[in-house]
Amino acid sequence: MNMIEFGRDILNRQSFSRLLGAELLAFEPGRAELRLPLRDDLKQQHGFAHGGLIAYLADNALTFAGGSALGGEAVVSQEMKINYIRPGIGAALIARAETLSTGTSQAVVRCDVFALADDGSEKLCAAAQGTIVRLAKG
Amino acid sequence: MNMIEFGRDILNRQSFSRLLGAELLAFEPGRAELRLPLRDDLKQQHGFAHGGLIAYLADNALTFAGGSALGGEAVVSQEMKINYIRPGIGAALIARAETLSTGTSQAVVRCDVFALADDGSEKLCAAAQGTIVRLAKG
Amino acid sequence: MNMIEFGRDILNRQSFSRLLGAELLAFEPGRAELRLPLRDDLKQQHGFAHGGLIAYLADNALTFAGGSALGGEAVVSQEMKINYIRPGIGAALIARAETLSTGTSQAVVRCDVFALADDGSEKLCAAAQGTIVRLAKG
Amino acid sequence: MNMIEFGRDILNRQSFSRLLGAELLAFEPGRAELRLPLRDDLKQQHGFAHGGLIAYLADNALTFAGGSALGGEAVVSQEMKINYIRPGIGAALIARAETLSTGTSQAVVRCDVFALADDGSEKLCAAAQGTIVRLAKG
C-alpha cells in the first residue's frame, strides 16, 4: 500500500469524515491536502459553510500532515487555532497543510483552507495552525 | 418567541447542526450551552469523537454565546482556538460558553467542552476561546 | 523554602522578569498571580502597555501555574494564545492563571490579565490560554 | 519620509521596543521584519530568550505587517497565537511577518521567528498568527 492509499484508508476509517464526504487529494511526509464538496447539509443559517465544518477540515488536514511527518496513524491534534477570513461559498473547500517543525513526539503544522468556486478559482477562506502529537502508548 | 426558542430556531436553520444532531440546552445573554449525542458516525479511527466535531461544537457554542451578547443572529466567529484535553468518549458532548467581554461589534468568549458519561458524570474534554463579530451590513 | 519563596527565586533568576519588574503575588499548585507595575518604558506609541508586555505577563503566569501543577521549574510554554480586550492603562497589570488540566508531561492553563487603576479597581485587559510542558531531559 | 523611516519612527516611539532594543529591518505593504539582539537581561532561568520576549517580537512584527497593509499607525493587535518550536539561543531573534488577508478594518497575519546563530545561520524558533485591527476613532 503506498502512502496515499494508507492515508485514504485512515480517512475511510473516520466515520465522521465519511459522513461529511472528505477526500484525501495529496499525502506526503509533512504535507496533506483534503477536499470537501460543499453539500446543502453542511451550512449555517446564512448559507455559508459552517465555521465548524471549516474547523473540522483544518483540524483533519493538520493531523494528516503532522501524522505523516511523525510517521504513523496513532496521532491526535493537541491544540489548534483558526482565523476565518472569507465565507465558505462555492463548490468545495480545499485544505492544504504543511509541517513547520517535527520533533520526536510532536509536530507544529500550518494549514490554509480555500473556497473553490465553480470556475476552479480559489480564495483563501481560513488559516490555521496547530500541534499534532503521538498518542502515548497504553 | 422567547430567547431559547429564538436560539433553537437559528440552530434549526443550520443544516450542518441538524446533520450532526446538536441541541441547544441553554441560551441567555452572554451564555449558551449545546449538547451533541455521540453517534457512531461522528468518530475518528480510534473510536473517539473526531477532533473536528469537538471544534464544531466549541465554535458553535462560542458563536451562540457571543451572538446573544451582541444581540442578534447576524454574527460569525472570526477566530477561535481549542486545546484538546481528553478523548471525547461517552453518551454525549456538552459545550458551555460564556462571554468575557462585549464591545459594540465583537465579543470575546470562552467555552468548555465536556464528555458526558452514561452515568451522568462529566469530564473536561476541550477548552476553547474565540472572537465573535457582527456581520458587516451588505 | 516554602512555595512562594521557591516561585520568587525562579522569577528572580529570569533576567527578563527582573528587567520588566514582575512580582509574584501568589503561587499554589495549579495557580499563579503576577503583578507588573506600569512604568513609562513599557509602552507603545499610543501610551498603553505594549501588547508584547501583556503577552509576556500572560505567558509567564501560564508557565508558573502550569509548572506548579506539573511540579518543578523545568517547564516551558509550548504554545499560547491571547485575546486583547482593553488597553493596558493604569498603575499595574495583574495576571491570574489557573490550570484546567494536568497530565504527566503537560498542563493546559488559562490566564486573565487585568489593568489595575490607581483607585484599586480592576478591568479585564486580556484573556489567554496555553500549554505548559515539562522539558525533556537532556 | 519613506516607508522604512516611517516604521522606524513608530518603533522609536514605543518605549518598550527601545528598552528591549528591537530594530526594524524591512517594512513594506503587508510585510515587516524585526531584529532583536539577545542580551543577557532578556532571558529566563534556563538561559534561553524568555518566551514572553519571543511573544513580544511576534506581536510587534504582526502589528507592523498588518498596520502597513491597513495603512497607518493607528492599529493594534486584537489577538495572536504562538507556537514555541526551539529555544531562543544565539546572537539575535529575527521575526518576519506577512499579511494573509486585508479587509477594511482588519488584517490576518502570520509571523515566523528565527534564532540567528553567530555564524549567521537561522533556525525556526516560533510560529505565530494573529489579527490586527484599526483603532476605532474616539
Give me the interface pTM, i.e. the ipTM.
0.96
What is the predicted pLDDT for the residue at B1?
Answer: 74
pLDDT computed for residue D137 by the predictor: 58
Using CA coordinates, name the residue in chain A closest to D107. A85
Q: Which residue of C has its CA nearest to A82?
A: C81
Tens of pLDDT, residues C35-91: 999 999 999 988 999 999 999 999 999 999 999 999 877 899 999 999 999 999 999
Within 8 A by CB and 6+ apart from D81, the residues are A81, A129, B81, C79, C80, C81, C82, D128, D129, D130
Taking contacts as CB-CB distances below 8 angstroms, the residues of chain D near A129 are 81, 83, 127, 129
Question: Does B77 sit within 8 Å of A51, measured CB to CB?
Answer: yes
pLDDT of residue D26: 98
C121 vs B: CB within 8 A = no
The CATH number of the domain where A95 resides is what?
3.10.129.10
Q: Which residues from B are below 8 Å from C100, CB to CB?
A: 83, 85, 124, 127
Which residues of chain A does D100 touch, with a Cβ-Cβ cutoff of 8 Å? 83, 85, 124, 127
- Domain range spanning residue A114? 3-134
pLDDT value at residue A43 = 94
Mean pLDDT for chain A overall: 95
Per DSSP, what are the bridge partners of residue B132? Answer: B77, B107
CB D85 within 8 Å of CB A101: yes
D8: CB partners within 8 A, 6+ apart = D24, D27
User: Would the pLDDT of A98 be above 70?
Assistant: yes
How large is the average pLDDT for residues D68-95?
94
The percent helix, strand, coil of chain B (3-state, each to 5) is 30, 45, 30
CA distance D40 to chain A (A): 27
Residue of D nearest to C63 (CA): D51
User: Looking at the predicted structure, is the pLDDT value of residue B138 above 50?
Assistant: no
Q: Which grid coordinates are listed for B90?
A: 461517552
The pLDDT of residue C133 is above 80: yes
Q: Which of C16, C64, C82 to mutate to test the interface with D (most CBs of D within 10 A)?
A: C16
- Residue B57 host element (H or E): helix B51-70
C77 touching chain A per CB within 8 A:
no
Average of per-residue pLDDT values in chain D: 95
Residue D138: per-residue pLDDT: 43
| Tally of domains in chain A | 1
Supply the DSSP string of chain C, one letter for each residue: --HHHHHHHHHHT-HHHHHHT-EEEEEETTEEEEEEE--GGGB-TTSSBPHHHHHHHHHHHHHHHHHHHH-SS-EEEEEEEEEE-S---SSEEEEEEEEEEE-SSEEEEEEEEEEEPTTS-EEEEEEEEEEEEEPPP-
Contacts of D131 in chain B (CB under 8 A): 78-79, 131
CB contact under 8 A, B81 and D81: yes
The helix/strand/coil state of A41 is helix
pLDDT of residue A92: 98
Q: Flag if A127 and D83 touch (Cβ within 8 Å).
A: no
What is the per-residue pLDDT for A138? 43
Return the pLDDT at D123: 97
Residues 6+ apart with CB under 8 A from D98: D30, D31, D65, D109, D110, D111
Prediction pTM value: 0.97
On chain B, the residues whose CB falls within 8 A of the CB of C85 are 100-101, 108
Report chain B's C-alpha Rg in angstroms. Answer: 14
Contact A110 D127 (CB under 8 A): yes
Residue C114: is it exposed, middle or buried by C-beta count within 10 angstroms (0-12/13-18/19+)? buried
pLDDT greater than 70 at residue A137: no
Nearest to D55 among C40, C56, C83 (CB): C56
pLDDT tens digits, one per residue of D5-22: 999 999 999 999 999 999
Strand pairing partners for C81? C129, D81
Instruction: State the average pLDDT over residues B89-97.
Output: 97
| CA–CA separation, C45 and D66 (whole Å) | 16
**Inter-chain touch D83–A129, beta carbons under 8 Å:** yes
From chain C, pick out residues whose CB is under 8 angstroms from the CB of B131. 83
Which pLDDT tens digit goes with each residue over D119-138?
Answer: 999 999 999 999 999 987 54
What's the rounded mean pLDDT across residues A112-130? 96
Residue C91 and residue C122 in contact, taking contact as beta carbons nearer than 8 Å: no
At residue A17, the pLDDT reads 98
Over the stretch D18-44, which tens digit does the pLDDT of each residue have?
999 999 999 999 999 999 999 999 999
Per-residue pLDDT, averaged over B114-119, amounts to 95
B79 and D CB contact within 8 Å: yes
Predicted local confidence at residue D77, as pLDDT: 96
User: Which is more confidently placed, D138 or D103?
Assistant: D103
pLDDT of B137 reads 58
* Close Cβ partners of A51 (under 8 Å, ≥ 6 residues apart): A44, A84, B59, B60, B63, B76, B77, B80
Which pLDDT band holds residue C138 (cuts at 50, 70, 90)? very low
**Banded pLDDT at C26 (limits 50, 70, 90):** very high
